[in-house]
Amino acid sequence: MKLSHLFNAIILGFSCFIDIAFSEEFSVTGDVYPPYQYDAEENRVSGFSYEVLNAVLAVNGDRISSSTLYPWKRALLMIKTGSADILISANYNDTRRSYVRYPSEPIVVSPWYFWKRSEENIKFRTLDDLKELRVGVVQGYTYTNEFWELARKYGIHNDAGNYNDDTNLRNLSRGKYDLALAEYGNGLHIKQKLNLKNISPLTYIPLKEDGLYAIF
């Protein structure tokens, strides 16, 4: 009953209409992914995705009983094993549909870009042009099938120790690799927070535009 209720709440809530007579409590997880979710004061989670989900559930009298952020791979395992009810800010991925459900509408749609150090004159037109470069990625992120086919074929990706986007972009700034992948809003937030003045996104060639979903 709880899963069915959650499905109705999220589907109908994002459609701004809901009429269900009972309420539930849900545990929420995700990774640290500002401005969409982050650890705020007094051990509470905040951020755009979290607040949207909280508002959608509240329409039906539901509430978030607990919320904790972990590295992405651990958060994904929690939703897969049932240790959490909802995972926020997840991109769509076909393989996940075997163990989670996606609502029909995302919380937000945003672009993903390659980021570079500002002093480096790196330009490319297609993914094939990347085969001589090193690209930083976060462990457990899906990105796109096309990118992973190229990355594995030429061994261009580097995720050693990259448990989150902060580490990935910091390593780019320090010269560990030539490019790094990051969602636009998250990347801008990290650049400002960590004072990474020497990195910038290549906005002329997005890797993808993708929705961030609350999955369950």
Q: Which residues of 23-49 are buried (b: 16+ CB within 10 A; e: fewer)?
A: ebebbbbbbbbbebbbeeeeeebbbbb
Q: Where are the domains of the chain?
A: 2-108, 110-210
> pLDDT, tens digit, for every residue of 15-46?
443 444 457 999 999 999 999 999 987 778 99
Cβ 167 vs Cβ 161: under 8 Å: yes
Could you report the per-residue pLDDT of 177-187, keeping only the tens digit for each? 999 999 999 99
Reported CATH class of domain 2-108? alpha beta
User: What is the pLDDT, as a whole number, of residue 22?
Assistant: 59
Q: Do domains 2-108 and 110-210 have the same CATH topology?
A: yes
| pLDDT above 70 coverage of the chain, percent | 89
Q: Which superfamily does CATH assign the domain made up of 110-210 to?
A: Periplasmic binding protein-like II (3.40.190.10)
Collapse the DSSP code of 58 into the 3-class scheme (helix H, G, I; strand E, B; otherwise coil) and give the result.
Answer: helix
The overall average pLDDT reported for the chain is 90
